[in-house]
Amino acid sequence: MPAGAGPSAVLRTLAGVIAKVEPLTPARALRGPFDYLLTGSLEDVDVGSMLVVPFGRRRLLGVVVDLAEESDVPPERLVEPLAALEADVPEPLVRLGLWVAREYVSTPARGLALVLPPGTGTGATRPVRPKRALRAAMTSAGAAALAGRDPTGESPAMRSGRGPSAARGPRLGPRQRAALAAVASGPLGAATVARRAGCDHSTLRSLERRGLIRLERVTEAARRPRLDGVGAATGAVALTPAQRAALRAIESRLVAPPARPLLLHGVTGSGKTEVYLRAVAAALRRGRSAIVLVPEIALTPQTAGRFVDRLGDAVAVMHSRLTRRERYDEWWRMRRGEARVCVGPRSAIFAPFSDLGLIVVDEEHDGSYKQEGDPRYDARTVAERRAATEGALLLAGSATPRPESMLRYERMELPGRVDGRRLPPVEIVGMAGESGPVHDRTREALDEVRRRGDKAVVLLNRRGWSNFLSCRGCGRVRGCSNCDVTLVLHRSAGEMACHHCGHRESIPRICGNCGSVSLARHGAGTEQLERELEAIVAPAPVFRLDSDVAAAAGVAAVLRRFDSAPSGVLVGTQMVAKGHDFPAVTLGVVLDADATLRFPDFRAEERTFALVAQLAGRSGRGERGGRVVVQALDPGARALRHAAAHDAAGFLAEELARRQALSYPPFGHLVRIVCSSTDPAPDLVAAEAVRARILAAGVPVLGPAPLFRRQGRHRSQLVVRSRERATAIAAVRHAVEAVASDRAHGAATFAVDVDPQ
Ligand code: ADP
Ligand code: ZN
Ligand code: ZN
């Protein structure tokens, strides 16, 4: 309806008739919210409603972020929304989406897209809708009419005051009788009823008017995604005393959630998952919903499987391989309250519950909780925010908690494994002077696994065959044409691949620079290691798990094969160190364990410690015990020594002291700004401009520093390190928005990362 067609001037003075609508458009320049006039034709519009609105000559999908009584827009220019969609989002989630947008220096549309039903992201004008079928159900009056009785003065049609037809009594025509008979045994699709009764739709409508049947639009039976469980453990067990104590603490805090989240620090195999399961059940008993965040489900199907096994249909699983339709159906099951628990990776933090009581963050140290694209949110930080604003308890757990959580959360311990077994002894071996990738000690240990018919898990965080190829003649190293990094050789695929942009090319036989045929391969990746291990443990099988294999065969398939093999070796990247529970594993091996330490990153130590400790956690979970061998160039590295001693508390204490001295998180906050451009200069010029504005706001900033060219883009980086989080974020937001909207910097794009990983 065009502006002025309705009684807008009058309505304008009534309460709540202006809807403030944030349009869902990817354009950064379009700054909402915009005012729209609500008249009687759109009922029930509230914060969280999704509206189709006219916008200039276009129509856009938007979210109502506020209701107001007044508008600054002159009445004659106020227009009405065109339609309201069926789906709406609980108000606290709208606030959360907008908070994410601000906190992570993104746009409102992108923040809101996170909390909307799947498929309604930015740029969408028509969201996916559930298929809604018309269903007919018999009323008690209908049953009475069919049985030939008078509906004794109790006709629902009379009560609703709708039908003069109610007075006509229960006389039924043959078609009507047939239609009633069709629904006698239970609700049925309207189309089916009409077919069986040989009647048409108007017959059903007239039955409805007389109160004899109910017609309702229902969403088609939601499709339940299947979960590929890998030997998921079922059934409840008797809790250990430590588990019981933890659960008691959790239950008491469910009643009145404290300001501080809880941290369940328990060694690998200490039964943390069992505690989460019971905590979720306790929340459900109190009539509250729960969210369980897990690292990527494809990597840890066991954990999600345990929730489904224990809680059944109350669980919605947000698997990354769900179709859009399945996601949408699960979203509706949660929105309608049919599903009360959401298990999923980071995006599950936006599950559309309006009665949230508990958020569990499993393996809270896991880097996958940080989103890589804009908005670069951290699901753990969002979880803190959501728990605080919605009165829910946040329960994070890990064997290797982040220093952040160690400092800020209230800690509970599960000090030992449930079976009372000790953690496996860890031996560190130095690789200085070694030629091959496998140390003699490792070889011996693997040989023992082979002889005893046990299993081993071997971790090397580098996929492919060789790290890089260099020319023996001129020394030229084969690099990516889009990025300033070396290409990695993948032998089975017969190609060189860039791990940053996905560029592939065939393996060269001669040097492109000097024509020499002598090319040297350097460094071993998982592909080469797989061969090496096959030779050592044959005839036992070797299973490789890295993203190359995962793309082809699927993680679950590989894990299942390893699980069902009587013996063998699982080799791969960090994927093998996730929370798998394979009792027959008696040996864990980490190759090049200090590779991560060679990256210039303040989290390098934390990451190295966690990787080794988690891998150690895969070993010795069964009766035969276990051991761990760690190969490193520098066997004395602090993170490795602590990991070998299973001393998380000691490591974290030292780590926190170090970070405090340097104002690193959690004592200071980092914001990273990357400016990029296709030509080599604009990125740097833009970075200088951003820097000047941040400094002008009184916030110290480091850089610009050049980053290696990636995907054909030149990049310059700025880093803000500050103890004043809100001030730093605001300064960055204003600086980037100003420079980004300045035409002089039109050739540059900007990526802001708050709390970069
Ligand atoms: P975590 O999550 O701490 O690594 P899990 O919860 O996966 O540990 O527990 C490890 C194994 O011990 C699982 O197979 C689990 O079923 C089992 N388990 C957990 N709690 C108990 C218990 N109280 N008694 C016996 N077995 C248990
Ligand atoms: Zn050469
Ligand atoms: Zn590349």
- Partners of 395 in beta bridges: 262, 360
Given a cut of 70, whether residue 221 has pLDDT beyond it is no
CB 723 within 8 A of CB 667: yes
* Least confident interval from 173-177, 251-255, 673-677: 173-177
Decide whether any atom of ligand 1 lies within 6 Å of the 604 Cβ: no
Which ligand lies nearest the alpha carbon of 399?
Answer: 1
Which atom of ligand 1 is least distant from the CA of 303? 7
Decide whether any atom of ligand 1 lies within 6 Å of the 303 Cβ: no
- At 593 the pLDDT is 93
> What percent of the chain is predicted at pLDDT more than 90?
61
- Which of 465, 498, 505 minimizes the C-alpha distance to 483? 498
Tell me the CA–centroid distance for residue 332 and ligand 1, in Å: 32
Residue 124 inside a domain? The answer is: no
Structure-model confidence comparison of residues 167 and 459, the more confident one: 459
- At 707 the pLDDT is 92
Which atom of ligand 1 is least distant from the CA of 275? 6
Mean pLDDT for 687-700 is: 96
Which ligand lies nearest the alpha carbon of 470?
Answer: 2
Which atom of ligand 1 is least distant from the CA of 267? 3
- Residue 727 to residue 315: CA distance in whole angstroms: 40
Q: Is 290 in the same domain as 309?
A: yes
Tens of pLDDT along 527-549? 999 999 999 999 999 999 998 88
Q: Is 620 in the same domain as 637?
A: yes
Instruction: Please provide the average confidence, as pLDDT, over all residues in the chain.
Output: 87
- At 244 the pLDDT is 96
Which ligand lies nearest the alpha carbon of 482?
Answer: 3
CB 642 within 8 A of CB 636: no
> What percent of the chain is predicted at pLDDT more than 70?
90
CA distances, 570 to each of 69, 221, 268, 300, 446 (Å): 64, 40, 19, 15, 12
Q: Is 321 in the same domain as 444?
A: no
CB contact set of 189 (below 8 Å; sequence gap of 6+): 133, 134, 135, 136
Which atom of ligand 1 is least distant from the CA of 399? 3
Which atom of ligand 1 is least distant from the CA of 233? 16
- At 132 the pLDDT is 55
Which ligand lies nearest the alpha carbon of 244?
Answer: 1
Decide whether any atom of ligand 1 lies within 6 Å of the 418 Cβ: yes
Residue 691 inside a domain? The answer is: yes
Q: Which two tokens stand for residue 49?
A: 């409603």
Query: Tell me, what amino acid is at 231?
Result: G
Structure-model confidence comparison of residues 665 and 162, the more confident one: 665
Q: Is 357 in the same domain as 443?
A: no
Which atom of ligand 1 is least distant from the CA of 274? 6
Tell me the CA–centroid distance for residue 405 and ligand 1, in Å: 23
- Residue 420 to residue 318: CA distance in whole angstroms: 34
Residue 126 inside a domain? The answer is: no
CB contact set of 42 (below 8 Å; sequence gap of 6+): 51, 80, 81, 83, 84
CB 239 within 8 A of CB 277: no
* Look-up of token digits 């019971």: 278
Q: What is the CATH number of the domain that holds 381?
A: 3.40.50.300
- At 621 the pLDDT is 81
Which ligand lies nearest the alpha carbon of 471?
Answer: 2
Which atom of ligand 1 is least distant from the CA of 240? 23
Tell me the CA–centroid distance for residue 479 and ligand 2, in Å: 13
SS3 of residue 46 by DSSP: coil
- Which of 732, 738, 734 minimizes the C-alpha distance to 752? 732
Mean pLDDT for 417-442 is: 91
Residue 228 inside a domain? The answer is: no
Report the domain count for the chain.
Answer: 5
pTM: predicted TM-score of the whole model, two decimal places: 0.82
* Look-up of token digits 């809604």: 132
Q: Is 210 in the same domain as 257?
A: no
Decide whether any atom of ligand 1 lies within 6 Å of the 271 Cβ: yes
Decide whether any atom of ligand 1 lies within 6 Å of the 266 Cβ: yes
Residue 701 domain boundaries: 669-754
Given a cut of 50, whether residue 1 has pLDDT beyond it is no
Residue 555 inside a domain? The answer is: yes
**Torsion 227-233-239-242 (CA) sign:** negative
Decide whether any atom of ligand 1 lies within 6 Å of the 8 Cβ: no
Q: Is 106 in the same domain as 144?
A: no
Q: Is 285 in the same domain as 349?
A: yes
Mean pLDDT for 676-687 is: 96
Burial class (CB in 10 A: 0-12, 13-18, 19+), 623: exposed
Pairing label, strands 262-266, 410-414: parallel
Tell me the CA–centroid distance for residue 379 and ligand 1, in Å: 25
Mean pLDDT for 539-567 is: 90
- At 235 the pLDDT is 59
Decide whether any atom of ligand 1 lies within 6 Å of the 243 Cβ: yes
Decide whether any atom of ligand 1 lies within 6 Å of the 233 Cβ: yes
Q: Which of 360, 418, 621 to mutate to test the pocket of ligand 1 (most atoms within 8 A of CB)?
A: 418
- At 296 the pLDDT is 80
- At 163 the pLDDT is 39
Q: What is the CATH number of the domain that holds 88?
A: 3.40.1440.60
- Which of 276, 281, 291 minimizes the C-alpha distance to 353? 291
Centre a 10 Å sphere on the Cβ of residue 312 and count the other Cβ atoms it contains.
Answer: 9
Tell me the CA–centroid distance for residue 509 and ligand 2, in Å: 11
Tell me the CA–centroid distance for residue 67 and ligand 1, in Å: 49
Q: What is the CATH number of the domain that holds 719?
A: 3.30.70.600
Decide whether any atom of ligand 1 lies within 6 Å of the 581 Cβ: yes
- Which of 193, 165, 195, 166 minimizes the C-alpha distance to 179? 193
CA distances, 250 to each of 275, 326, 406, 416, 748 (Å): 9, 33, 17, 19, 49
DSSP secondary structure string for all residues of 197-241: HT--HHHHHHHHHTTSEEEEEEE--PPPPP---SS---S--PPPH
Centre a 10 Å sphere on the Cβ of residue 385 and count the other Cβ atoms it contains.
Answer: 18
Decide whether any atom of ligand 1 lies within 6 Å of the 273 Cβ: yes
Q: Is 657 in the same domain as 673?
A: no
Which ligand lies nearest the alpha carbon of 485?
Answer: 3
Q: Which of 275, 581, 615, 618 to mutate to test the pocket of ligand 1 (most atoms within 8 A of CB)?
A: 581
Q: Whose CA is nearest to atom 15 of ligand 1?
A: 271
- Residue 117 to residue 359: CA distance in whole angstroms: 20
- Residue 297 to residue 474: CA distance in whole angstroms: 46
Tell me the CA–centroid distance for residue 269 and ligand 1, in Å: 6
Q: Is 708 in the same domain as 583?
A: no
Tell me the CA–centroid distance for residue 503 and ligand 3, in Å: 5
Tens of pLDDT along 281-329? 999 999 999 999 999 877 777 888 899 999 998 999 988 778 888 898 9
Given a cut of 70, whether residue 150 has pLDDT beyond it is no
**Torsion 276-277-281-287 (CA) sign:** positive
- At 137 the pLDDT is 85
CB 462 within 8 A of CB 525: yes
Given a cut of 90, whether residue 587 has pLDDT beyond it is yes
- State phi, psi for 373 to the nearest 5 degrees: -95, 170
Given a cut of 70, whether residue 127 has pLDDT beyond it is no
Mean pLDDT for 392-409 is: 96
Q: Is 143 in the same domain as 184?
A: yes
**At 393, is the pLDDT very low, low, confident or very high (cuts 50, 70, 90)?**
very high
Q: Which two tokens stand for residue 385?
A: 């925010």
Tens of pLDDT along 465-497? 988 899 999 999 999 988 888 899 999 889 999
- Which of 650, 648, 641 minimizes the C-alpha distance to 428? 641
Structure-model confidence comparison of residues 30 and 72, the more confident one: 72
CB 516 within 8 A of CB 474: yes
Tell me the CA–centroid distance for residue 436 and ligand 2, in Å: 25
- At 225 the pLDDT is 52
- At 128 the pLDDT is 45
Q: Is 189 in the same domain as 107?
A: no
Decide whether any atom of ligand 1 lies within 6 Å of the 239 Cβ: yes
Tell me the CA–centroid distance for residue 617 and ligand 1, in Å: 13
Residue 234 inside a domain? The answer is: no
Which H helix or E strand runs over 247?
helix 241-255
- At 623 the pLDDT is 79
Tens of pLDDT along 12-46? 444 458 999 999 887 766 778 999 998 876 767 88
CB 156 within 8 A of CB 129: no
Residue 535 inside a domain? The answer is: yes
Decide whether any atom of ligand 1 lies within 6 Å of the 270 Cβ: yes
Given a cut of 60, whether residue 624 has pLDDT beyond it is yes
Mean pLDDT for 658-667 is: 92
Tens of pLDDT along 701-729? 999 999 999 999 999 999 999 999 999 99
Residue 395 inside a domain? The answer is: yes
Mean pLDDT for 182-186 is: 81
Q: Is 440 in the same domain as 306?
A: no
- At 718 the pLDDT is 97
Which atom of ligand 1 is least distant from the CA of 243? 23
Q: Whose CA is nearest to atom 20 of ligand 1?
A: 271
Which ligand lies nearest the alpha carbon of 516?
Answer: 2
Tell me the CA–centroid distance for residue 248 and ligand 1, in Å: 17
